Amino acid sequence: MINVAVLGASGYTGAELVRLLSLHPRFAIKSLSADRKAGKKYSDIFPHFRHLDLPVLSRIEDINFYDIQLVFCALPHATSQKVIKNLPKHVRIVDLSADFRLRDPKEYKKWYGSEHEATELQKKAVYGLTELYREKISNANLVACTGCNSATALIPLIPLVIKRLIALKGIIIDLATGVSGAGRVPKENMLHSEVSEGFIAYNVGKHRHLAEFDQELSAFAGKKVEVTFTPHLIPQNRGILATIYVDGDTEKIYSGLNHFYRQEPFIIILPQGFVPSTHHVRGSNYCHIGVVGDRISGKTILFSAIDNLTKGSSGQAVHKCKLDV
Amino acid sequence: MINVAVLGASGYTGAELVRLLSLHPRFAIKSLSADRKAGKKYSDIFPHFRHLDLPVLSRIEDINFYDIQLVFCALPHATSQKVIKNLPKHVRIVDLSADFRLRDPKEYKKWYGSEHEATELQKKAVYGLTELYREKISNANLVACTGCNSATALIPLIPLVIKRLIALKGIIIDLATGVSGAGRVPKENMLHSEVSEGFIAYNVGKHRHLAEFDQELSAFAGKKVEVTFTPHLIPQNRGILATIYVDGDTEKIYSGLNHFYRQEPFIIILPQGFVPSTHHVRGSNYCHIGVVGDRISGKTILFSAIDNLTKGSSGQAVHKCKLDV
Amino acid sequence: MINVAVLGASGYTGAELVRLLSLHPRFAIKSLSADRKAGKKYSDIFPHFRHLDLPVLSRIEDINFYDIQLVFCALPHATSQKVIKNLPKHVRIVDLSADFRLRDPKEYKKWYGSEHEATELQKKAVYGLTELYREKISNANLVACTGCNSATALIPLIPLVIKRLIALKGIIIDLATGVSGAGRVPKENMLHSEVSEGFIAYNVGKHRHLAEFDQELSAFAGKKVEVTFTPHLIPQNRGILATIYVDGDTEKIYSGLNHFYRQEPFIIILPQGFVPSTHHVRGSNYCHIGVVGDRISGKTILFSAIDNLTKGSSGQAVHKCKLDV
Amino acid sequence: MINVAVLGASGYTGAELVRLLSLHPRFAIKSLSADRKAGKKYSDIFPHFRHLDLPVLSRIEDINFYDIQLVFCALPHATSQKVIKNLPKHVRIVDLSADFRLRDPKEYKKWYGSEHEATELQKKAVYGLTELYREKISNANLVACTGCNSATALIPLIPLVIKRLIALKGIIIDLATGVSGAGRVPKENMLHSEVSEGFIAYNVGKHRHLAEFDQELSAFAGKKVEVTFTPHLIPQNRGILATIYVDGDTEKIYSGLNHFYRQEPFIIILPQGFVPSTHHVRGSNYCHIGVVGDRISGKTILFSAIDNLTKGSSGQAVHKCKLDV
């Protein structure tokens, strides 16, 4: 059994971690932190856990890390780096924030607007796409979970870039995500009254996950790749569907993806002609991928669906740990 | 044309007032106030009004009331009374808050927790159930719109109390409401992620609209009436359905309601055996009422559906003005 | 390992059975039937099962029952009895339909409109409320799962009837259910366009689950009990919340329920003053119960929330089998 | 007053026509047809019209067209042409089906799979994009309303094609639509249980509205234009948002659209940097257009939002008639 602490357990990714860890035979949840809600029972924050015997919420400074082997850090961006740099050295860390995703401090500053406060750790952190970085992850002390949007689109794109099956210019990622990605902190535009019946794009041409697309696609291509990326908000809680427009031969793309992911337990390439739905991956760690040829020859449309809280965040976090610890 | 100011125009009832007034041939919207958003275009707050030529949002103290004849006050409870007591005497006021619904200052203090700051006005205010207080409303300088839940259940109940067609003891009002009634101020429990797939009761046995039930039913009965009232939250934006359990003869109740409301334009008694849906009154000022006999003899179940923002608030507000100004 | 067949696997309760059985260490799914979809892969009907290795859908007559020990029958009402009476004697059967819930053939005919075609089996079938009929269920060859609405309200009511903590007259069950209970057969009133923003009551005073309330409450009370029951449809997929009005002392009711269910793994009595939400039991087999005193002395409001597909149907079905086979 | 008949009034576009016509001062609804529901009251089919005095539903053959001047035909595709070719010559017709949108019988056969049965009328019909074909519409006897998806994307695209502000190759229309576009006929994939939490693409690379894009963009460009078009289904009732990727200068595109539509009452070009939401056009005849420059120079992203039942169908139908009759 691996003893685990979850920092920032009062948000949605925290709750999803607790759900997955409590169902998993190899993990024991020893500590749950939530500074502002310290002292409360976890089931008063998330009543669907009322049947579980879980630790009372504590402050991070009150956690005894002595018998913790693994820390899941589900704290907000910027807070995460401050906390992680002060954690004891013996714990392995899976960070769900954006703080350690970008390897280049300049890129970090460009996209997140401030200097990184733990640049030494930033260099050592491994980008947490399990299917692509499995070996590095198994040796890492700090793994940075990917952005939920990034995971959705990178999973089908990277193999095609590696195998040179698509043009590197002109890739368009049109993506729609459920609202739980925005977290549990109250915001006007996340109220039910605002979200319902309202499909809208946001952060057009400037979403921070662009930095992850740039970093990863360029790294695997061996040269600079820039994509167009438009996220939308769907009036539903969970799930991301990416619709990706690429130039490349549909048959080769289909067989290429099938071959690349033939042994991956969580990647499902649908039969040709099928398209995935967010409904079909809800609550699961699976990524469903569809490949459809456009009527215009040479153009292919990729579809990739995940649950943003599971494969897009907490599920990928737990997946990593099953492999490497 | 009646010149109108809407105070507190940045909330949902404010927006609904603007929608109804802008469609109405007899009203001219002269001022829209929203203190924290003063200076903004109304369409930046509510983009569905982008095609209308509306006043820029202002602070209340910057409104020139000289040429205003009618004020709709859509401010929060407690704020409303402070603002209204300082308004110029020539304006007629329709208040959408709870501040002037209760005639007894002691009851106000009991349910709202503080002393009323405009007790003189409180005495003169008319409770805004148009169908029941039409004449008083037409002579009033200050009308207090009813609570949205109160309107839903009082419309079918009061005629039955007047006509003595139901027992006064044991009335149970089980009610479900959409989330827009909770307003536009961000709250965790109104996030889409929390509301969706979550049907729940709230304020059981202690909702403030109980005070209105007590006041009105007792007044029309000529003696103290106490009801049981359980509100629920529905995962939808608009609409209230009350399911009301009474002891009384179904046929007499049905014909009694039909007769009482036979000339009312906004009250629809459904054919017997039909039940109303919130879907059928969405965006309208209608109240749909259904009457069904229970299988247990002598028990009748009443259903009443309205749109909480329209008949439950802004629509009843405008309705009053059509009648009286 | 227990070898299992699921008859009628193409509906929502069938899919929920497959979900629960595939996660459970003691069951092996050997056959899945769906007459009109025989020959299809299960994942083409329910793509969220694409990662599982499941039997292709077959016709019931093509199932080899030789090595099946347990049959879950998720067929439509009336069909179920015809199929079950012809099943081999060695299989134990859990029926999710309404066919074997009523012990009295006359009551069956009254509520379901036709003669029962397997009255011998009907006599032997055990009503599947695990918490109340545990011993009988463990010896039964045929268990009839309860109606989803019936389960929701009977779980809190029966102990109070047994302990004589509430008046038997005047019990009112006001209940709201998600749409998945209506099944997967297309119907106009279950379209998203119709359901969304539409809260409505249905089958008022005549819902068939009344027969189960009559049978069970009367049996445990030792005399005839008749309740008032009003089901509503909520614009959400899963979950039932019952709001139950009873005459009885709140403190005694609260401690009575706590004591009665103190050892039951799937019944959670909430802390006093808390009310359950369908959101908190989604996808789980738990029943969350809240007890709140009305402001009117002597009146108590009970809340009971379950997931209609899990505790209300497939979950209770699997729960029974864990206990008895 | 113009006397109007609505054929096929029992579907959603029919109901939307009735809503708009009943609110409009210049139209009198004389007949409502719905063959299978003939004899029923309209308010039994759509209870939100209970307050209106509307004709009872009739069969088409029972309509007296003698005093009808205008017919709205909201019948299914293929049925529409059979009915329209037999209508009396004196009536003007606005057809909401797809039957008369394509001018070339070969294209019709290619996309709809059968020979057109009214090719003479097909030649004379005018494609109903009011903003682009205003004069032709005002002289037409038969106007074919556009597809709802086609209208959404053609409104921003055609002016840019006319003004040669975008490349004709590589246009990508990524679009999401609410479920009411699928109509009121029950289908499994339109059930609330299936739609909710499920964002999915459909008819990828082969949706019939491609034929309208081909026809109209090629006509205005003066040469063959082929676009990529991917429709998605949103878990909401109403609204379409198109996200359109084009090669062209953002500033020129923005000012070009502003200038082209400067006098159009129903086209709103948002301030730069703003994106439209389906929420903001719900129930209205407005088209909200946003223009955003991609971070990749020379690429522009257009957004266009309409209500599929209003501007996408019944609203555009009524709009045409205001102009031309």
Compare CB distances from D277 to A199, A245, A293 and report the shortest one's residue: A199
- Distance in Å, alpha carbon of D189 to nearest chain A alpha carbon: 12
Residue C95 near residue C80, CB atoms below 8 Å: yes
A237·B187 Cβ contact <8 A:
no
Q: Supply the pLDDT for residue A304.
A: 98
- Judge whether residue C63 has pLDDT over 70: yes
Cβ neighbours of C88 (radius 10 Å): 9
Separation of alpha carbons A103 and A123, rounded Å: 6
A278·D234 Cβ contact <8 A:
no
B237·A187 Cβ contact <8 A:
no
Which of the residues D73, D145, D148, D321 is marked catalytic? D148
Chain D residue numbers with beta carbons less than 8 Å from the beta carbon of A234 are 199, 234-235
B190·A188 Cβ contact <8 A:
no
Residue A226 near residue A163, CB atoms below 8 Å: no
Confidence of residue D225 (pLDDT cuts 50, 70, 90): very high
- Distance in Å, alpha carbon of D315 to nearest chain B alpha carbon: 16
The list of chain B residues with pLDDT below 50 reads 323-325
The verdict on pTM exceeding 0.80 is yes
Please tell me if residue A298 touches chain D, with a CB cutoff of 8 Å: no
B198·C277 Cβ contact <8 A:
yes
B192·A235 Cβ contact <8 A:
yes
Mean pLDDT of the region A196-200 = 97
Compare CB distances from C186 to D188, D195, D235 and report the shortest one's residue: D188
- Strand-pairing partners, residue D92, are D70
Please tell me if residue A179 touches chain B, with a CB cutoff of 8 Å: yes
Mean pLDDT of the region D12-38 = 96
Chain D residue numbers with beta carbons less than 8 Å from the beta carbon of A244 are none
Residue D16 near residue D315, CB atoms below 8 Å: yes
Interface mutation vs chain C, best among A22, A48, A310, most C CBs within 10 Å: A48
Confidence of residue A322 (pLDDT cuts 50, 70, 90): low
- Helix B315-324 vs helix B130-139: crossing angle, to nearest 10: 50
Which distant-in-sequence residues (6+ apart) come within 8 Å of C48 by Cβ?
A279, A280, A281, A282, A284
CA D135 to chain centre: 18
Q: Supply the pLDDT for residue B273.
A: 87
A48·C282 Cβ contact <8 A:
yes
Which of the residues A73, A148, A287, A321 is marked catalytic? A148
Mean pLDDT of the region D134-147 = 94
Q: Supply the pLDDT for residue D322.
A: 61
D192·C188 Cβ contact <8 A:
no
- Judge whether residue D224 has pLDDT over 50: yes
D238·A199 Cβ contact <8 A:
no
How confident is the model over A66-101, as pLDDT tens digits?
A: 999 999 999 999 999 999 999 999 999 999 999 999
- Judge whether residue C38 has pLDDT over 50: yes
Selection from C80, C64, B205 nearest residue C72 by Cα: C80
Q: What is the 3-state secondary structure (H, E, C) of chain B?
A: CEEEEEECCCCHHHHHHHHHHHHCCCEEEEEEECHHHCCCCHHHHCHHHCCCCCCCEECHHHCCHHHCCEEEECCCCCHHHHHHCCCCCCCEEEECCCCCCCCCHHHHHHHHCCCCCCHHHHHHCEECCHHHHHHHHHHCCEEECCCHHHHHHHHHHHHHHHCCCCCCCCCEEEEEECHHHHCCCCCHHHEHHHHCCCCEECCCCCCCHHHHHHHHHHHHHCCCCCCEEEEEECCCCCCEEEEEEEECCHHHHHHHHHHHCCCCCCEEECCCCCCCEHHHHCCCCCEEEEEEECCCCCEEEEEEEECCCHHHHHHHHHHHHHHHC
CA D303 to chain centre: 17
Mean pLDDT of the region D187-203 = 97
Please tell me if residue B270 touches chain D, with a CB cutoff of 8 Å: yes
Confidence of residue D13 (pLDDT cuts 50, 70, 90): very high
| Number of Cβ pairs < 8 A linking chain B and chain D | 41
Chain A residue with the nearest C-alpha to that of B234 = A192
Angle, alpha carbons C188-C189-C194 (nearest 5°): 100
Which residues 4-63 of chain C have a CB within 8 Å of chain B? none
Cβ neighbours of C141 (radius 10 Å): 13
- Encoding tokens for residue C1? 């390992």
Confidence of residue A320 (pLDDT cuts 50, 70, 90): confident
Interface mutation vs chain A, best among D200, D202, D210, most A CBs within 10 Å: D200
Q: Supply the pLDDT for residue A324.
A: 45
Mean pLDDT of the region A165-194 = 97
Confidence of residue A323 (pLDDT cuts 50, 70, 90): very low
Confidence of residue A321 (pLDDT cuts 50, 70, 90): confident
Q: Supply the pLDDT for residue C322.
A: 61
- Which stretch of DSSP H or E encloses residue D175? strand D172-177
Chain D residue numbers with beta carbons less than 8 Å from the beta carbon of A237 are 197
- Strand-pairing partners, residue D302, are D244, D291
Chain C residue numbers with beta carbons less than 8 Å from the beta carbon of B232 are 176, 241, 243
Give the CA distances from residue D40 to residues A264, C181, C202, D10, in Å, rounded to whole numbers and listed in that order. Answer: 58, 29, 21, 10
- Judge whether residue C99 has pLDDT over 60: yes
Q: Which chains have 3 or more CB–CB distances shorter than 8 Å to chain A?
A: B, C, D
**Mean pLDDT in chain B?**
96
User: Look-up: residue for tokens 């449309």?
Assistant: A301
Give the CA distances from residue C67 to residues C3, C31, C56, C77, D175, in Å, rounded to whole numbers and listed in that order. Answer: 7, 10, 17, 26, 51
Listed range (D22-31, D75-84, D270-279, D311-320) with the worst mean pLDDT:
D311-320
- Judge whether residue A174 has pLDDT over 70: yes
- Judge whether residue C270 has pLDDT over 70: yes
B197·A235 Cβ contact <8 A:
no
Mean pLDDT of the region D229-243 = 98
- Encoding tokens for residue A116? 């990184």
- Distance in Å, alpha carbon of A235 to nearest chain D alpha carbon: 7
- Distance in Å, alpha carbon of C195 to nearest chain B alpha carbon: 8
C280·A51 Cβ contact <8 A:
no
- Distance in Å, alpha carbon of C224 to nearest chain A alpha carbon: 36
- Which stretch of DSSP H or E encloses residue D58? strand D57-58
B190·A187 Cβ contact <8 A:
no
Residue-level length of chain D: 325
Selection from A146, A59, A153, A164 nearest residue A98 by Cα: A146
Sign of CA dihedral A311, A317, A320, A321: negative
Q: Supply the pLDDT for residue B321.
A: 76
Angle, alpha carbons B100-B106-B112 (nearest 5°): 60
Which residues 183-242 of chain D have a CB within 8 Å of chain A? 194, 196-202, 204-206, 210, 226, 228, 230, 232, 234-239, 241
- Judge whether residue C131 has pLDDT over 50: yes
Residues of B that are catalytic: 148
ipTM over 0.90: yes
Q: Is D14 exposed, middle or buried (0-12, 13-18, 19+ CB in 10 A)?
A: buried
- Distance in Å, alpha carbon of B239 to nearest chain A alpha carbon: 12
Q: Which residues of C44-65 are buried (b: 16+ CB within 10 A; e: fewer)?
A: ebbbbbbbeebbebbebeebeb
C279·A50 Cβ contact <8 A:
no
Residues of C that are catalytic: 148
Residue D68 near residue D74, CB atoms below 8 Å: no
Chain B residue numbers with beta carbons less than 8 Å from the beta carbon of A192 are 179, 190-192, 194-196, 235, 237
